[in-house]
């Protein structure tokens, strides 16, 4: 479950990424996604996340808070049902499991490579993914991103957005992995382009914690 959490976090990580080029306005999810990437430099939100297995059985609901800022910085903190922090300063990713008192260090470029993070990583998005608008549902416009690489670890990512008063808003993301598990995440209490202090994206290893340096 912790590894699956990490995969989904990386799918969001590169929201702190390179802006995409402008395109003509349209009412579908593809246009809203491009607009959100182009106009959002930083953000904060609370989230809930649930994984449903291949048989449709739902798992426990996770909750927490997410901050990000371009380029490549984020803090993804789970508060329930157990605590975990995943923090990146753009170069290193620290993953701290509170119950294990263990910190894993990973090079950001290595951790993000080959994950759904590439969906939000910049100008090569159309070279890596096939983007297609989906029918509107739950008051949102949806876009599906399917990897062009047949060896990808996931089948698709679906992103639900709405056209808010201040521009496109990312509200939900769903990820289907190669084992047909689906993770569904909903964002609430969003702040768009807040001024986040640099300390938000720093991590001090707790005294006595076990450290696994995989850089």
Which of the four pLDDT bands, split at 50, 70 and 90, describes residue 2? low
Distance CA 179, CA 54 (A): 7
**pLDDT (mean) for 95-113:** 87
Q: Which residue has the higher pLDDT, 123 or 54?
A: 54
Distance CA 180, CA 155 (A): 8
18: pLDDT strictly greater than 60: no
Say if residues 85 and 67 touch (Cβ distance below 8 Å). Answer: no
Please give the class, per CATH, of domain 2-204: mainly beta
DSSP 44: E
pTM of the predicted model as reported, rounded to 2 decimal places = 0.79
Q: What are the extents of the domains in the chain?
A: 2-204
Which of the four pLDDT bands, split at 50, 70 and 90, describes residue 10? low
pLDDT digits (tens, 9 = 90+) for 146-172: 888 777 778 899 999 999 888 899 999
pLDDT digits (tens, 9 = 90+) for 130-139: 899 999 999 9
């Amino acid at each position: 479950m912790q590894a699956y959490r990490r995969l989904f976090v990386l799918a969001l990580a590169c929201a702190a990424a390179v802006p995409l080029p402008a395109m003509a306005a349209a009412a579908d999810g593809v246009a809203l996604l491009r607009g959100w990437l182009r106009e959002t430099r930083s953000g904060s939100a609370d989230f809930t996340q649930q994984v449903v297995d291949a048989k449709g059985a739902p798992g426990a609901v996770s909750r927490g808070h997410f901050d990000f800022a371009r380029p490549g910085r984020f803090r993804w903190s789970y508060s329930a049902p157990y605590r975990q922090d995943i923090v990146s300063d753009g170069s290193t990713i620290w993953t701290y499991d509170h119950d294990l008192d263990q910190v894993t260090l990973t090079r950001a470029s290595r951790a993000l490579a080959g994950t759904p993070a590439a969906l939000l990583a910049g100008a090569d998005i159309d070279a890596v993914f096939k983007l297609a608008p989906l029918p509107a549902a739950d008051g949102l416009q949806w876009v599906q991103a399917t990897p062009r690489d047949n060896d990808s670890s996931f089948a698709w990512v679906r992103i639900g957005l709405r056209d808010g008063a201040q521009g496109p808003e990312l509200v939900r993301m769903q990820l289907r992995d190669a084992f047909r598990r689906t993770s569904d995440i909903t964002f609430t209490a969003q702040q768009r382009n807040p001024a986040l202090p640099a300390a938000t994206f720093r991590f001090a290893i707790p005294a006595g914690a076990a450290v696994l340096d995989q850089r």
